[in-house]
Chain A
């Protein structure tokens, strides 16, 4: 058995690993309690699954396919961390609470407190006001 005949099986293994990783990402997004922990599953697991699938496709196809798949990988590597960071920053600016057990907020805005010192506005009216832009000193 030479190396050439092993390549489809390696691609199959990569596809199975990619499906496993993407399923772990979906489970993480469903079961994690708040947005800050959901971002972990979304920005790492699902993204790595797509990269693994593109690698499996690159192993089998010709050069034009490989270069396009590499372009997709490059675009995802460049854009996914930025999008995740912007979503996390937006959730932080909107004062979303950390409901994870044992969460620690070191920013000074007490987002991990359980006593609703800075409650999230529940009605639609409060969200239309201009949000408070964060400064360097803590809120209280």
Chain B
């Protein structure tokens, strides 16, 4: 992508990150907080992909992959523990 588009995308995704942090802080139920954390990590992955593509450096994609897998495990464990008080059967 052209440089201007990468810059605009970075700024825009950062604004969405700030919106999601506000949702995370002001959420009423714990499940909404877990959901907001999940979406926050998705925005972080998007930011890392844009940054890696703009700098032509593929090492940021490894960080994005690890972040995605960690957020999956985190939302799984927190949601299951909060609702059933056990993680594994």
**Contact in complex: B61, A25 (CB < 8 Å):** no
| B interface residue numbers (CB < 8 A to A) | 1-2, 5-6, 8-9, 12-13, 16, 19-20, 23, 29, 31-32, 34-36, 38-39, 42-43, 45-46, 49-50, 52-53, 56, 58, 61-62, 64-65, 68-69, 71-72, 75-76, 79-80, 82-85
Query: Could you tell me the dominant secondary structure of chain A's interface residues?
Result: helix
How many residues in A have their beta carbons less than 8 Å from beta carbons of B? 51
**Contact in complex: A26, B16 (CB < 8 Å):** yes
Residues of B near A56 (CB, < 8 A) are 1, 53
* List of 3 A-B pairs having minimum Cβ-Cβ separation, nearest first: A90-B83, A57-B53, A79-B72
Q: How many A-B residue pairs have CB under 8 A?
A: 149
Residues of B near A12 (CB, < 8 A) are 1-2, 5
**Contact in complex: A90, B80 (CB < 8 Å):** yes
Residues of A near B35 (CB, < 8 A) are 29, 35, 38-39, 42, 87
Whether A71 contacts B38 in the complex (CB less than 8 A), given A11-B1, A50-B49, comes out as: no
**Contact in complex: B83, A25 (CB < 8 Å):** no
**Contact in complex: B85, A131 (CB < 8 Å):** yes
**Contact in complex: B42, A47 (CB < 8 Å):** yes
**Contact in complex: B84, A131 (CB < 8 Å):** yes
